[in-house]
Structure 1
Amino acid sequence: MAKTTASLTTRTLDRLAKQLPDGNEVWDTALGGYHIRSGKRGLTCRLSYYNTLGQRRVLTLGRYGEITAEEARQLAKEALADIAQGKDPRAIAEQTRLDHQLQEQQTLRSYLKGPYAAYQGRKKGGQATLNRLHKAFADWLDRPMGSITRADIERWQADQEAIKPVNSTSKAPTKPRAFSTMKRDFGALHTLLAHAADRKVIPFNPVAGIKLQKPALTEQELADAGVERRYLEPEEVEALFLGLERYQEEKRKQRRSSRAHGKAYLPDLDKVAYADHVKPWILFMYYTGFRPGDIAGLRWEHVNLPFKTVRKTIEKTAHQRPEPQTFPLSTPVIEVLATWHQQQGKPKTGWVFPNPITGKRFDRTAMQKPWAKVRAFAKLPSGLVLYTLRHNFASQLVMAGADLLAVSKLMAHSDIQTTIKHYAHLRPDHTRNIVEAFATRYFAT
């Protein structure tokens, strides 16, 4: 079929834009290879040529209307000049486009929305990590990842530590961020950049080897140092159990009032052992030392009441040790679980402590308010956090003479050094007994 030719002037292109059927081409009479092609979106100006390998190539110059007839002709001339020098203009254009795409991919924002979002989407706390990065490094989102320097990190930390002035939307100055929070933010950034470097998106992790500078402790922090990981005194344990009973009675009192005032359809809490999940949850933590996240993630499939064990993967260390671990349960906590199991209708599967409203898993902060109420009923110190129950479990075991390796396994520490660091000091009498036994055995009179 013969080629349709014409002088591709502005007047000609205006006419062809209205008349040329889709898919048809018209070739310029003066410039070899230069032509236009009609499509659903209008006329496209193109150049057909052969590269040095004898392959036919077509270079898109632009869409008519977005570029003029003269601009298209000039682009065709420049491309033909490159071809005469042995260059391949389409290959150059494709490489330029790839370089641009790669540059866009290398920005923090594009990587967060693309590859890293897919990677974090497969992780339990992935969305929280993405949100943390977006919030903590909002000013860096459009920067190439490889351009982040040590000086940037130092300025970022200094800015996070500064007290921000009052603005129009806040009633008070913004407080400096806690160092522990900044460490989590920076750790998330470090992990993202390492991920990008591993996949060759950037040549290397620009923050590798960089650490945040820990600020000097304030007088209050110095005074509080060493008291965070503490155990409960006997009178505090007694108060805790009393606080749980007072919490239950308050719940039952509220239910009696509701049933007496038009809500008789609500279950009678005076007829069950536990008013809600709070008492069995706290008792489980007290008797096992489990982390709140692992209690929230506890399923009946993990619990073996006859064998008095729990077998589950520990969530905090699942990335290092994905296989389930088995934990023995004491008789008191078995009684708690058995009673709760009976009260819940003896389920074989599902969450041990489901959200009573949604039936789904509780989030990691769900026990903060109930714990505050129990603590108030027990008249325990306001600074006593729920996590103290975990520390108390380990501390009491160590003070009772338990082997540190056994305690480490019961606490599901990934490294026994963690156990030694935080709890070995609770065994002064044990070490004293060792040296006394040695001295007595070899004492010379």
Structure 2
Amino acid sequence: MAKSSNTGLTDKSCSHHIKESGYRSELSCPKILGFHLQKLKSGGCWRFRYHDFNGKKRIINLGKYTGDNANKEAAADRAFELRNQVNKGEDPASEMKAKQEAYKVAEARRQSGKLGIYLDGIYTKHQSRKADGGKHTLDLIRRHFNQWLDTPMELITVGDLKQWQYSKEQEGLSHATIKRAFGALRTMLRHAVREHILSEDPSAKFQLAPPTAAEKDKAHEGEELKARRMLTASELQSINTGIELYKAQLIQQRENSRAHGKPHLPSLEALAFPHWFFPFFHLAAYTGMRSGDLYTLNWQELNTQFKRLVKVPNKTRHHSDPIKVDLPLDDRITNLMTQWRVQCGNPASGLVFPSEKTGKKMDKKAHVSHWKKVLTLGGIEADLDFYSLRHHFISRMVAGGFPLFTVARLAGHKSVKMIEQHYGHLAPHAAADALALVADDFQSTLDNKAVKKG
């Protein structure tokens, strides 16, 4: 049995109204009060009209008129539902508006809950309060979780995080790097919970798997342990030789350029160094600083007048209580850096090693090609990283018997844990001396007993 229609409007009367009636004229339904078809400039639309509690006229658009019966019946059914709501004392328009607003709020929240949008929006503003604008943390998340930037954070699962760790291990990332990246993400997720963007932290039930057996072997027996060492006497001699030969090579290149149409280049008599790499190298060797910290070092931090270098390492700058490296400078390094400052025009502020082209911070690998030339000219065939200068700095002091806490502070670490873990094997074995020291406290008693017994 066919379903009876809610409306008294016929297909024929509707078609005639659209063809013959004037613009904005209405064809009302004889069954549903307020339901009507309005003529537009092109076609028509179904509407429902009623008055709210305040007597204000309300109109709800029910869709475009298409000319077929199904379209008419669907509009009539909706109008019938709305009329029943009005008869019950409800206000359909207000309820629809409330639902629309709720949807907008929910959609805005859903969008802001996407990892990339939250990272670039709310979390970037939060990180901007930090000394470096949170750049290190933001870049860490963006670089290691770029495949999730368009993913709602609430949809991240434990399985996703497990797969993420596995993929990073396959890329060859160390467990320490993976741990730092995950820690940065977890901190952001917890912030999203506090901001009521997330109801719960999706990473709360996840725990990183420990380092692989291969990485443990590498850390304790393999290449990593070999890298954390002092440079040999032969390597030191070769590096010094390479530095001098590279300096002579650049000097010759500059003289050749001046002789062949570039007289505007300043003569070497006016320069202490033929290239910024040389003071950069010497400061790295003297301080053991990471290359990244040297690239951001400014003249307020390197005070040649007071012979002091005070720097917050980039790796800890984003911490709530960052470490501060405070290094005294001896006369040799002070004179060297003073000469470099004069060569740069005696700047009162700004970067110690700015880009020669832009005056801004150089690329983090700008020194690599120069370092390789030094190694080649010095005859070093091994792949010796520039970071070996820092390893030598730390290893030399540990092997020299300096307190690990002192070494840690000079190297820019808050605790001795890392120094002890990676360089502790270089420390002199003092167990026998320590036992002997305690034994001496009671030596006289032992001697007396021996005398009486005799």
Structures share fold, TM-score greater than 0.5: yes
Task: Give the aligned partner of residue 236 of structure 1.
Answer: 235
The reply on whether 1:210 has 2:207 as its aligned counterpart is: yes
Q: Matched residues in 2 for 1:44 and 1:113: separation? A: 43
CA deviation vs aligned residue, 1:304-342 (integer Å, no higher than 9, x gap):
222111233332111223586543222222121111112
Task: Give the aligned partner of residue 226 of structure 2.
Answer: 227
Task: Give the aligned partner of residue 428 of structure 2.
Answer: 428
Task: Give the aligned partner of residue 158 of structure 2.
Answer: 150
Q: Matched residues in 1 for 2:392 and 2:84: separation? A: 81
* Counterpart among 164, 173, 177 of residue 178 in structure 1: 173
Whether contact under 8 Å (1:232, 1:392) holds in the other structure is yes
When the two structures are aligned, how many residues end up with a matched partner? 418
SS in 1 for 2:384: coil
Q: Matched residues in 2 for 1:279 and 1:303: separation? A: 16
The reply on whether 1:339 has 2:339 as its aligned counterpart is: yes
Whether contact under 8 Å (1:401, 1:430) holds in the other structure is no
The reply on whether 1:125 has 2:123 as its aligned counterpart is: no
Q: 1:43 to 1:392 in 2, by over 3 A?
A: farther
Q: 1:160 to 1:318 in 2, by over 3 A?
A: closer
The reply on whether 1:193 has 2:196 as its aligned counterpart is: no
Q: Matched residues in 2 for 1:280 and 1:303: separation? A: 13
The reply on whether 1:438 has 2:400 as its aligned counterpart is: no
SS in 2 for 1:414: coil
SS in 2 for 1:310: strand
Task: Give the aligned partner of residue 122 of structure 2.
Answer: 115
SS in 2 for 1:386: coil
Q: Matched residues in 1 for 2:66 and 2:296: separation? A: 58
Residue 297 of structure 1, CA deviation = 1.0
Whether contact under 8 Å (1:252, 1:269) holds in the other structure is yes
Whether contact under 8 Å (2:324, 2:412) holds in the other structure is no
Whether contact under 8 Å (2:45, 2:62) holds in the other structure is yes
CA deviation vs aligned residue, 1:283-321 (integer Å, no higher than 9, x gap):
111111222222111111222222111233332111223
Q: Matched residues in 2 for 1:437 and 1:394: separation? A: 28
Residue 89 of structure 1, CA deviation = 3.3
Q: Matched residues in 1 for 2:80 and 2:329: separation? A: 83
SS in 2 for 1:217: helix
Q: Which runs of 5+ in 2 are unaligned?
A: 1-9, 448-454
Percent identical: 28
Q: Matched residues in 1 for 2:17 and 2:122: separation? A: 47
Q: 1:72 to 1:245 in 2, by over 3 A?
A: farther
Q: Matched residues in 2 for 1:49 and 1:374: separation? A: 87
Compute the TM-score of the two structures, normalised by the length of structure 2: 0.76
SS in 2 for 1:327: strand
Paired residues for 1:41-52 under 5 Å: none
Whether contact under 8 Å (2:127, 2:134) holds in the other structure is yes
Compute the TM-score of the two structures, normalised by the length of structure 1: 0.77
SS in 1 for 2:402: coil
Q: Matched residues in 1 for 2:38 and 2:300: separation? A: 66
Task: Give the aligned partner of residue 328 of structure 1.
Answer: 328
Q: 1:261 to 1:427 in 2, by over 3 A?
A: same
Q: 1:47 to 1:242 in 2, by over 3 A?
A: farther
**1:105 aligned partner, one-letter code:** S
Residue 160 of structure 1, CA deviation = 5.1
Q: Matched residues in 2 for 1:233 and 1:144: separation? A: 53
Whether contact under 8 Å (1:133, 1:188) holds in the other structure is no
SS in 2 for 1:301: coil
Task: Give the aligned partner of residue 306 of structure 2.
Answer: 307
Q: Which moved more, 1:350-359 or 1:100-109?
A: 100-109
Q: 1:9 to 1:27 in 2, by over 3 A?
A: closer
CA deviation vs aligned residue, 1:252-305 (integer Å, no higher than 9, x gap):
122222222222222233642211111111111111122222211111122222
Residue 185 of structure 1, CA deviation = 4.7
Task: Give the aligned partner of residue 78 of structure 1.
Answer: 81
Residue 78 of structure 1, CA deviation = 3.1
CA deviation vs aligned residue, 1:400-439 (integer Å, no higher than 9, x gap):
3323222222222122333333334332244443333223
Task: Give the aligned partner of residue 372 of structure 2.
Answer: 372
Whether contact under 8 Å (1:61, 1:72) holds in the other structure is no
Q: Which runs of 5+ in 1 are unaligned?
A: 1-6, 163-175
Q: Matched residues in 2 for 1:66 and 1:117: separation? A: 49
Residue 113 of structure 1, CA deviation = 5.2
Task: Give the aligned partner of residue 3 of structure 1.
Answer: none
Q: Matched residues in 1 for 2:29 and 2:182: separation? A: 63
SS in 1 for 2:286: helix
Residue 372 of structure 1, CA deviation = 1.8
SS in 2 for 1:125: helix
**2:376 aligned partner, one-letter code:** A
SS in 1 for 2:314: coil
